[in-house]
Structure 1
Amino acid sequence: MNSGYDDCIEECLRCALACESCASACLQEQDTQMMANCIKLDRDCADMCKLAAMLMARQSPLAKEFCALCAKACKACGDECGKHDDDHCQNCAKACHACAQACEAMAA
């Protein structure tokens, strides 16, 4: 891997895992309808983070541009998860916001 990308790749993978865990936990909640937006954003964010990590790993010329878009997804997901008190949502929100910062720095 390119050392310039390593930190961002790690943040993206950490965020993807947090989002996958959050979505799964949200599906176990009593009122899944109330968590629908959280689940949708978790899934989008996880997929985008995984793709961003892959693009950076292969040093794609699209990596920086995609990281800017990934940061938007991470912010949206982090903001939504931050509205919920569950530990899985709060952990996901932290991972998303950290990833958004890393992706923004990468895209700059």
Structure 2
Amino acid sequence: MTHEKYRGCIEACVACAQECERCGDACIGQPQMAECVRTCRDCAELCWTCSGFMSRGSTLAAEVCRACAEACDRCAAECAEHEAEHCKRCAEACRRCAEECRKVAA
């Protein structure tokens, strides 16, 4: 796959990383949201990493996308448990990103 073919996944990863960072930041300081903060941070970091691997056309992009999809699934599940609007937006971005990452990983 060339860099251009990764475009949709790169865009989904960047959008997801941004939503995860916003969600995690919004949850900081709320003890009952500690797991949400952790999963958002993990997911954001993997999304940024994944977008970098694809941007460089790395031969490891598919493997990193598999890990990113897993992190997105976990984050989406965690955020879906909460009523906050930022959690809902984050969960949706995570679901979209996981779907795109699975296409690359296939």
What's the TM-score once normalised by structure 1's chain length? 0.95
Q: CA separation in 2, counterparts of 1:52 and 1:13?
A: 9
- 2:57 matches 1:70: no
Q: Which residue of 1 aligns with 2:88?
A: 90
Which of 38, 41, 45 is equivalent to 2:39? 41
CA deviation after TM superposition for structure 1 residue 7, in Å: 0.2
| 2:12 counterpart residue number | 11
Shift of 1:33: 1.3
Pairwise CA RMSD of aligned residues? 1.0
The CA distance in 2 between the partners of 1:53 and 1:17, in whole Å, is: 12
User: TM-score, normalised on structure 2?
Assistant: 0.96
Aligned length: 105
Percent of aligned pairs with the same residue? Answer: 44
Pairing 1:17-36 to 2, within 5 Å after superposition: 17-27=18-28, 32-36=30-34
SS of aligned partner of 1:89: helix
Structure 2 residue corresponding to 1:104, chosen from 98, 102, 105: 102
Give, as a single letter, the amino acid of the residue that structure 1 aligns with 2:7: D
The runs of 5 or more residues in structure 2 that have no matched partner are none
Report the secondary structure of 1:59's partner residue.
Answer: coil
Structure 1 or 2: more helix by fraction: 2
Residue identity in the other structure for 1:47: E
Q: Kindly report structure 1 stretches of 4+ aligned residues shifted beyond 6 Å.
A: none
